[in-house]
Amino acid sequence: MTGRLLACALALLSAAQPVNAGPQSFDLDLHVPPVIADSTAPTKCTVTYVIADLANNDLYAARMRIDPAETDSPVHNRLPCPPDMPPRVGLRALDVCVSRSGESKYCVFADMSRGFEQRPDIHNTAENASRCASDKASDIGVACWMSGKLSVCNVACADSPQDALVRARARCEDKQQHDCPITATVPVSGP
Amino acid sequence: MGPRRIAMLLMLAATQAWAQPAPPPVPAPPAATGSGKRILLPPPLRWDNVMLSYRPALQQTATDFATLTGGLAFGMAPAALNALLPEPYPKPSWSDLALANEYPGEVRFFGVPIGSAGALRMNLTACTGARGYVVFLFNANGLLRLSYRLIGDKTCPDTNEAAQEIFARYVALGQGVATSVRYRTGNTQVVDITDPTAGYLTSVHWNQGGN
């Protein structure tokens, strides 16, 4: 009996082999999404830094996802982020730019102090004001003015893209004493 | 475990093997834009709860690179790569390719105008200059780097926006899949996409008029 069943199973397996061996069709018409996300699951912590590449005039959003502790519980469906970020996380955020621009001196945090255009280096930027945490904000905004070819920017966090832009622009205009018409925003948790 | 159960499990395993489609590659997320400024979106990092160690949050592979580039893979031979181009280069054999002098060792290349680079053109909306081109660089191991060179001219004096548009697509790939770097030399914007296993060759930059 055992032998007959195994022989039967092996025969079925070998019958399936030609299907496996040939190129597979990826269009199986299953009509189901490949990944089904739980839309009700709480948002895990992401801390997003905005980094500026002064050489190429690029901005990067460096997203750091932080695993929750077992004891963490969501508030308003958002898992908490650590209240303080160790400097090493900010340094890794800068690396996102350094590894792509090739020159570390051109990569700075995007929240810049007044007079940055006179002394454009990282000491005139604020690490803690260049990041937003997903437990406090859903969007991070940037507003800049152009000093020649150099973008001088500030960053703000908010719970909508529109608010993030308004706040970033207000912060930039207040801090820089310039009109800051160049703006951008991304979701903190990313697409 | 009884023989009937073993047989059933074997049958189930055989069924599963072909019923599951391969997981689709992670699509490259578009860079976000605001009014006039683009924010580039590299793949996120995932940290442990005490933020001592990290790793890429997304599982990306050479398949993601191939999806983005219309089938390219690092290590590809010149002829194989040429076969993927809509307007193939006439002589892709190793001995016919020119030497790229900026590299130590033997690196050879050929280039095609960006307008005839097919999927590598990345559906650009910004101007690239009439003489913009894509260079494919090879060493003995095959494709080492693709290099976009966008040269400003009268009709398109500034190719920065196009370079940024191209760069944004590659930034979405982790540096472990394809190392993306951008810089300017003379009036040319350069976007280099390099095999992450290329080692010190990654740091070699092209100089307009200097090589």
3-class DSSP state of A68: coil
Q: Show residues of chain A in contact with B18, CB under 8 Å.
A: 16, 19-20, 24
Q: CA of A118, closest CA in chain B: separation in Å?
A: 22
CB-nearest partner of B49 from A69, A88, A89:
A69
Record: contact A24-B21, CB cut-off 8 A: yes
Asked if pLDDT for residue A59 goes beyond 90, the answer is yes
Backbone angles phi, psi at A65, to 5 degrees: -95, 130
pLDDT digits (tens, 9 = 90+) for A33-54: 555 556 678 889 999 999 999 9
Q: How many Å from the N-terminal Cα to the C-terminal Cα in chain B?
A: 71
Query: What Å distances lie between residue A137 and A58, A164, A188, CA to CA?
Result: 23, 9, 7
Per-residue pLDDT at A164:
97
Per-residue pLDDT band at A2 (split at 50, 70, 90): low
Three-state secondary structure string covering B3-53: HHHHHHHHHHHHHHHHHCCCCCCCCCCCCEECCECEEECCCCEEECCCCCC
Q: Give the lowest-confidence range in A69-83, A94-108, B15-29.
A: B15-29
Q: Show residues of chain B in contact with A30, CB under 8 Å.
A: 21
Instruction: Give the predicted TM-score (pTM) of the model.
Output: 0.81
Per-residue pLDDT at A39:
63
Q: CA of A69, closest CA in chain B: separation in Å?
A: 6
Closest CA to B175 of B37, B25, B56: B56
CB-nearest partner of B34 from A24, A58, A185:
A185
Q: CA of B52, closest CA in chain A: separation in Å?
A: 9
Per-residue pLDDT at A69:
87
The mean pLDDT value for A63-67 works out to 97
Per-residue pLDDT at B200:
83
Q: Which amino acid is at A167?
A: R
Per-residue pLDDT band at B79 (split at 50, 70, 90): very high
- Provide the angle, in degrees to the nearest 10, between the axes of the packed helices B3-19 and A2-21: 10
Per-residue pLDDT at B168:
96
Per-residue pLDDT at A35:
59
CB-nearest partner of A58 from B11, B45, B164:
B164
Asked if pLDDT for residue A90 goes beyond 80, the answer is yes
Residues 56-85 of B with CB under 8 A from A: 57
B91 touches chain A (CB under 8 A): no
Q: CA of B166, closest CA in chain A: separation in Å?
A: 13
Q: Which two tokens stand for residue A31?
A: 């009509």
The mean pLDDT value for B174-190 works out to 94
Record: contact B36-A26, CB cut-off 8 A: no
